[in-house]
Amino acid sequence: MHLVYLVLILCFNLSRILALESREQFDEELTLRPLRDGKLGARFLFTTLLKGATPRRPEALLTMTIHYTLFPLALGQVLREYAVTELHLTLNAGNWNYGQWGYPDEPGVGTGAELWAWMGDGAPITIDERWQGLRNALAGLFCASLGSLDEQRTTSPSLTFQPEGSLPDWTTAHQLRHATLPSEHVCTENLTPFLKLLPCKSLSGIARLLNPHKLFDADWHGLGVHVRYREGAGVEVRLAFQAVFDPVRYSHDKRRDWSLHSVFDRSIDKACPVARSSKVRVGLPKDRYMISPDPSVIDDRFATYLVGAAGEALDVAMQWPEEPAFQYLLASGAEPLTDISVRRTLKGSSQSQAQMALVITNNLPVQVQASYLETMPWLLQFYLHTLRAYVDGVSRDDLVSIISYSPPVPHSRPTLLQAILTLPPNNTLQLTMDVTKTFLRYTEHPPDAQRGWDLPPAVIIPFSFGELLSQNHSMPAAAGPALETRPRRIYTPVMLVDLATPDFSMPYNVIIMSCTLIALIFGSVFNLLTRKFVVVLVDEPASKVSPIESATCG
Amino acid sequence: MDGGLAFPALVAARFLLALAPSPAVLKHDQLLSSPLTSFSRLQEGIFLFENGIDPYSGGSFRHSPLLLSLFSTVLPLTRLTASLLWTASDAIGAWALIHIWRSRQNVKSSPRDGLLAAFYLFNPYIFLPTLALSTSTFENTLYLLSLLFACQGRSSASLLTLALLVQLSLPSVLILFPVVLLLVSDCVSRLASPRPFAADIRKTLPLLAEFAAYSLLLTIASTLACGNWSWVEKTWGAPLLLPDLTPNPGLWWYFFTEMFDHFRPFFLMVFSVHLLIYVLPICIKFQHDMLYASFLLLGVFATFKAYPTLSDPGLFLSMTSLFPEIFPYLRHPIVTALLHLHASLLLPLFNHLWLTQGTGNANFFYASTLVFGMANGAALLDAVWAGLRIAVGELKDGYEVVQE
Amino acid sequence: MRLSPNSLTGMVAAGLRTRITGLCSFAASRYWFNYRHMANALGMYRTVKRLGIPDSNIILMLADDAACNARNKFPGCVYANPGRHLDLYGDNIEVDYRGYEVTVENFLRVLTGRMDLSVPRSKRLLTDDRSNVFVYMTGHGGNEFLKFQDNEEISAFDIADAFAQMWQKKRYNEIFFMIDTCQANTMYSKFYSPNILATGSSEIHENSYSYENDNDIGVAVIDSYTHYILEFMENINKTSQTSMQDLFDSYNFDKIHSHPGVRTDLFHRPLHSALVTDFFGGVAQAEVLPPIPFSPRNTSESEHIVESGSMLDVGNHTDGGLSDLPLDGGLSQTPFLAALAGAKGDVLTRKLRAWGSSALVIALVGYVSVKRSSY
């Protein structure tokens, strides 16, 4: 009897498996871009699409029917458990140099860890509880300290972090949770679980190139996990690894020639068999170069290789034969690669007060509106009334309008400041604001307190580009390379704030000394208040106390 | 010197001082303004309030909602009006001090008026916080006005000013007891001839009820301004829970910075109750002179309250000029004066060394607050001793007063 | 093959019960100059992994990031010998607690299993009364304490009590405790729970020394005691019959420069019959239990779950419809413009409330002054 049931179930499931196979599709792509400062930008992208799937409704029961062949199971379980509709996790190290490298292929380049998720409301378990569970689960999955992304770092800046996919049309609303941990390190232990999410691990396909010893030697590196729901398509997981290598540093004669082998110390020896497509795209520079082997497809911007097409190991190489050694561009002579450039600094030497300055340059000949987001831990508190805007040294407070501000609550909630800035064409806007640094309890300081605290990056999004006035700019073509004007996130570098530290060896001493002083004064006052005053004769022997003069009330 | 001219001249001098450009560093000085009285935070709160953000939803604004509504409506704050307003407040304080003296002496005018005004207006502990635009200036003025009205027997005015004061700073509620007793008795100096409390203690009950009514109305006004009750925890909760550990010249901040987390609530309770303990014994011992009792309590608060600034001990020191009769009996005035001098030099120096220069550490400043606490304690002990010793009177040679 | 959930649980219950060896390997020191402590712990990690313990059974705590430290000339690598022959970090490593997470509290929580519900399995020591646990600690220590992060310390009493709690909660069968720090032997002097074998690198009032420097890394790369333990372990494989007695006999003062200690009074097996692989090896011993009867009701229920739980909406999707959305797809300017337009809040009501409150205060003051003049 049991056996019949068992066989039935097996048959049923087997048919489902076969159906499922075709419903998951896996694509991988490696994009390599020589950058103008001689570096090489690399972006590994592994996309798994679960066709026809929808995110779990938070109020729906959690059922145990998970079967994936390509979709990462560990991640799928987390998504279902906490009913996450859209999830983005990035772990980056280094500052993305927008000026030299342009916009990144993956927009999330904030230093350290950044996690944001859109979750549907309406479950018996609240969003905040699920958010806590989610970050703990991801902390376990990716060996990162995401557990410390607690409510002291969590905000909901839904304007800046709009969903990348679509949100299912449920009766209950979706909410955003966002947190950053700029001090998070990224190392092999984060890459290991990342690779385990791939169907071919790092054994074949372009993932073969993910060699930790080379990746973590890069000038900038970061990994990202992005889950989104695409209406009509399904749930998509994008695993991305992005890095900026320095071939000039690796080469002995200061040349920027590179090959997969010189950069990754490996080559792609075989294709991942389950991948629907597996491509290597190489961005083509404007000057004279040589590329080998011959690409499968080539257009004016990219040369594309199909992995596994040739049947032999793929080792792409690019050379600049006419260039004896790479000449660095002067920073001043370089045209900006992004619509706007941002610099953020913290000024002042005091450990209690400081001034924050944001310098935004509009590189376009048109007026640009940009959104500005600060999610500041309560360690630094803004004096919003001191926010001033200057253009060319002239006060222009009308260029800033504050959209939302939630002040910080010590020990529990960070600041959220969202503003819209209007940037005059080809000009620089300077914002300054006084800030005050908080004083922490001694138990709240980290073990290396004197190092200071990393503050999360600000995020700027230029979103509205004014019309070009043709009479002012008769030669728009001469205004430099056409910049791609569409809303994109720009992260500022992180800041380090130096907070005043107490003496960590003093708790007992302070308790003893303060209490002694209080007890001394208290004792003396009550001594005076409670004891009677008497007059004594001091010239005679001390025994002759005269009681007659004893006085005062008591 | 003619008392009639001295006071306006001094006030004019203060106005000139207020209008002179003062260094911006004063505004952030931790000795002159605490998180509860800082002008920057007040401005921030008003800014947030006027832009439709509840300032009490954050953790940095801890001023009373009354200040918020007054300064956002009838008294708009600019650099100029603020300087004038703060100095005017000090002038009123000095005027109140003079009139307390007059009603204590039962005279219409006295040659000491100018001296009293000078002692208040040019006490550095008073005028530096005023230059820094710390709202503790208003607290001091309200203290003095409340005492003045109590001396003059104007119970409603006295209780209303006290109720206003309590809105600004919760620990001041402890002064209610001596003020009410002062209202049912009188303020004539009887330190030298103590006698049991004469007036009927039951007469205080309607006064207490009146105070409660005023407080209730002002609380309603506060809630109206704020829109919800979150201000209670933020303003009145602060001196009890010590949420902000910004350094100040008092004894609490470093103690609770270094406190073990699981002992924090216990010691917060101990420190709060400790303030409470002094009220009854001092009122009983000085039942013959309630003004002196309230003066001593001010000294206690200046030493032990949660967020003191220099203006709290400043008020206590300036008020000593009301009691010239005790001067000959002070126990160790030289030591006290030297301690104060020592502390007033050390405090700004060590604060600067720690936070700006970076060459000292927190212990430097902590040590100087201990010295300052010692100095305030010594001044308090001097006053208690002298207030009791004066009853024994002048002694013949060879005799000395001791305690049994 | 796919198993429905009930049949899966049924199989685990009916078939195997494994004996798991858990490991807690752990470096407590922060800062680059304590590189060797990271290397010590990673050396142990590598050894037990080589001997067959999977990452899921290992809790590795590293107080600082030596491998990707900016001062590390060899990114992603940690070496334990001056020639840099063997990279301990490798390509496949899972660090369960790192950086600021390495605290005394977390360490004791891992041992005793008192965790928040949402803490994932990889951060828990999932052992039972049939598990042998190997605990290795290294860092800077002293008489009966070990420093964490140069900031807090754990005392010998804390560890002894944690082990006692583990025993009461049936979280171990046997513990092998190893510690490499100055005055290490004091750290196990307070143990009182049964079945603990402990060893340490140095006696009271005695330092433990580092083994060697690497000139390119610039700091000492491993401690002497751990180096010789690892050297001994290199000769052991999964089927090795080497006993604990052999390990302890290999201690040599002339090489280590300190007196390693062994505590056996709580351990009830003779040392020569306690194999090194009892603690270092991933020995899974299968044990057959009587099967739990399968009820038809269960299966039908599971089938039902399969049906109702299907979230896969078999929709009419075509590959052509899957054209790529932009990567930062959703960002559009309309919400910004909408927010800009709607930024003005209820300022008017606030203003009214403020005026109302001011009027109340002024009225009160006016009333009191009028009242007085009417006397």
Q: Hey, is the C-beta of B262 within 8 angstroms of any chain C C-beta?
A: no
Answer whether residue A5 is part of any domain. no
C24 is catalytic: no
pLDDT at B85 over 90: yes
Among partner residues B59, B274, B303, which is closest to A409 by beta-carbon distance?
B59
Average of per-residue pLDDT across B14-26: 82
Average of per-residue pLDDT across B366-381: 96
pLDDT band at A250 (very low <50, low <70, confident <90, very high): confident
Same domain? For A119 and A208 the reply is yes
**Which own/partner pairs from A534-538 qualify as long-range (CB within 8 Å, at least 24 positions apart)?**
A534/B401, A534/B402, A534/B403, A534/B404, A535/B392, A535/B395, A535/B399, A535/B400, A535/B401, A535/B402, A536/B399, A536/B400, A536/B401, A536/B402, A537/B398, A537/B399, A538/B398, A538/B399, A538/B400
Same domain? For A314 and A398 the reply is no
Q: What is the DSSP string of A343-368?
A: EEEEE-S-SSEEEEEEEEEE-SSS-E
Average of per-residue pLDDT across A249-257: 88
pLDDT band at A262 (very low <50, low <70, confident <90, very high): very high
Among partner residues C358, C364, C372, which is closest to B70 by beta-carbon distance?
C358
Same domain? For A240 and A285 the reply is yes
pLDDT at A544 over 70: no
- A77-86, A408-417, C317-326, C347-356 — which is least confidently predicted? C317-326
* CB of A196 closer than 8 Å to CB of A260: no
Q: Per the CB < 8 Å rule, is A554 touching B392?
A: no
Those of residues 363-402 in B touching chain A at CB distance below 8 A are 363, 366, 370, 373-374, 377, 380-381, 384-385, 388-389, 391-393, 395, 397-402
Q: What percent of chain A has pLDDT over 70?
A: 89
Q: What confidence tens digit (pLDDT) does each residue in C124-155 have?
A: 888 888 888 899 999 898 999 998 888 888 99
CB pairs under 8 A between A and C: 211
pLDDT at A216 over 60: yes
pLDDT at A11 over 70: no
In the structure encoding, which two tokens stand for residue A547, read together?
Answer: 């009681």
**ipTM for the assembly:** 0.94
pLDDT at C98 over 80: yes
Taking CB atoms and an 8 Å cutoff, what residues of chain A touch C312?
20, 23, 52-53
The chain B residue lying nearest C352, using CA atoms, is B225
pTM score over 0.90:
no
Q: What is the pLDDT of residue C49?
A: 87
Q: What confidence tens digit (pLDDT) does each residue in A111-142 have?
A: 999 999 999 887 788 899 999 999 999 999 99
pLDDT band at A360 (very low <50, low <70, confident <90, very high): very high
Q: Hey, is the C-beta of B50 within 8 angstroms of any chain A C-beta?
A: no
Active-site residue, selected from the candidate residues C24, C68, C77, C182: C182
Taking CB atoms and an 8 Å cutoff, what residues of chain C touch A157?
none
**pLDDT, chain B, mean:** 91
pLDDT at A479 over 50: no
Which residues, other chains included, contact B239 with Cβ-Cβ below 8 Å and sequence gap of 6+? B36, B169, B170, B171, B272, B305, B306, B307
Q: What is the pLDDT of residue C287?
A: 63
Answer whether residue B374 is part of any domain. no
Same domain? For A70 and A101 the reply is yes
Q: Hey, is the C-beta of A524 within 8 angstroms of any chain B C-beta?
A: yes
pLDDT at B98 over 60: yes
Smallest CA-to-CA distance from C228 within C212, C207, C240, C215 is with C212
Q: What is the pLDDT of residue A6?
A: 52
* CB of C135 closer than 8 Å to CB of C31: no
Q: What is the pLDDT of residue A55?
A: 86
Same domain? For A63 and A167 the reply is yes
pLDDT at C13 over 50: no
Answer whether residue A474 is part of any domain. no
* CB of A441 closer than 8 Å to CB of B268: no
- Pick the more confident residue, C7 or B55: B55
Q: Hey, is the C-beta of B210 within 8 angstroms of any chain A C-beta?
A: no
Answer whether residue B394 is part of any domain. no
Average of per-residue pLDDT across C176-181: 92
Q: Hey, is the C-beta of B217 within 8 angstroms of any chain C C-beta?
A: yes
Q: Hey, is the C-beta of B278 within 8 angstroms of any chain A C-beta?
A: yes
Taking CB atoms and an 8 Å cutoff, what residues of chain C touch B231?
none
Most confident of the ranges A328-332, C6-10, C95-99: C95-99
Q: Per the CB < 8 Å rule, is A487 touching C333?
A: yes
Q: What confidence tens digit (pLDDT) does each residue in B294-339 have?
A: 999 999 999 999 999 999 999 999 999 999 999 999 989 999 999 9
Taking CB atoms and an 8 Å cutoff, what residues of chain B touch C371?
156
Q: Hey, is the C-beta of B68 within 8 angstroms of any chain C C-beta?
A: yes
Among partner residues B51, B157, B221, which is closest to C360 by beta-carbon distance?
B221
pLDDT at B287 over 70: yes
- Cα–Cα distance list, B194 to A9, A554, B151 (Å): 101, 10, 18
- Pick the more confident residue, A225 or C344: A225
Same domain? For A261 and A284 the reply is yes
* CB of B305 closer than 8 Å to CB of B253: no
pLDDT band at C345 (very low <50, low <70, confident <90, very high): low
Q: Per the CB < 8 Å rule, is A534 touching B61?
A: no
Average of per-residue pLDDT across C329-340: 73
Q: Per the CB < 8 Å rule, is A533 touching B389?
A: yes
In the structure encoding, which two tokens stand for residue A61, read together?
Answer: 């029961």
Average of per-residue pLDDT across B103-111: 86
Same domain? For A424 and A292 the reply is no
Question: Quick one: CATH architecture of C16-280?
Answer: 3-Layer(aba) Sandwich (3.40)
Q: What percent of chain B has pLDDT over 70?
A: 99
Average of per-residue pLDDT across A79-94: 92
* CB of A363 closer than 8 Å to CB of A426: yes
- Pick the more confident residue, A69 or C286: A69
Rounded to an integer, what distance in angstroms lies between the CA atom of residue B144 and that of residue B146?
Answer: 5
pLDDT band at C293 (very low <50, low <70, confident <90, very high): low
DSSP symbol at A124: S
Total number of domains constituting chain B: 1
Q: Could you tell me the residue range of the domain that residue B122 belongs to?
A: 3-238
Q: Per the CB < 8 Å rule, is A461 touching C77?
A: no
Average of per-residue pLDDT across A233-259: 91
Q: What confidence tens digit (pLDDT) does each residue in A454-476 have?
A: 999 999 999 888 876 544 444 44
Q: Per the CB < 8 Å rule, is C345 touching B156?
A: no
Answer whether residue A325 is part of any domain. no
Q: Hey, is the C-beta of B77 within 8 angstroms of any chain A C-beta?
A: no
- A325-339, C95-109, C196-210 — which is least confidently predicted? A325-339
Answer whether residue A534 is part of any domain. yes
* CB of C38 closer than 8 Å to CB of C66: yes
Total number of domains constituting chain A: 3
Smallest CA-to-CA distance from A460 within A425, A481, A487 is with A487
Taking CB atoms and an 8 Å cutoff, what residues of chain A touch C122?
140-141, 143
Q: What confidence tens digit (pLDDT) does each residue in B258-274 have?
A: 999 999 999 999 999 99
Q: What is the pLDDT of residue A476?
A: 41
Q: What is the pLDDT of residue A34?
A: 93
Taking CB atoms and an 8 Å cutoff, what residues of chain B touch A506?
258, 362-363, 366
Cis preceding-peptide flag for A293 (omega within 30 of 0): yes
- A330-334, A387-391, B351-355 — which is least confidently predicted? A330-334
C77 is catalytic: no
- B188-202, B242-256, B309-323 — which is least confidently predicted? B188-202
Q: Could you tell me the residue range of the domain that residue A401 belongs to?
A: 340-441+451-467+486-497
pLDDT band at A540 (very low <50, low <70, confident <90, very high): low
**pLDDT, chain A, mean:** 86
Among partner residues C344, C361, C371, which is closest to B66 by beta-carbon distance?
C361
pLDDT band at C31 (very low <50, low <70, confident <90, very high): confident
Residue B214 C-alpha, separation from nearest chain A C-alpha, in angstroms? 31
Q: What is the pLDDT of residue C73?
A: 87
pLDDT at A524 over 60: yes
Average of per-residue pLDDT across A416-445: 93
Residue B160 C-alpha, separation from nearest chain A C-alpha, in angstroms? 31
DSSP β-ladder status, A495-497 and A453-455: antiparallel
Q: Per the CB < 8 Å rule, is A533 touching B47?
A: no
Rounded to an integer, what distance in angstroms lies between the CA atom of residue B151 and that of residue B322?
Answer: 13
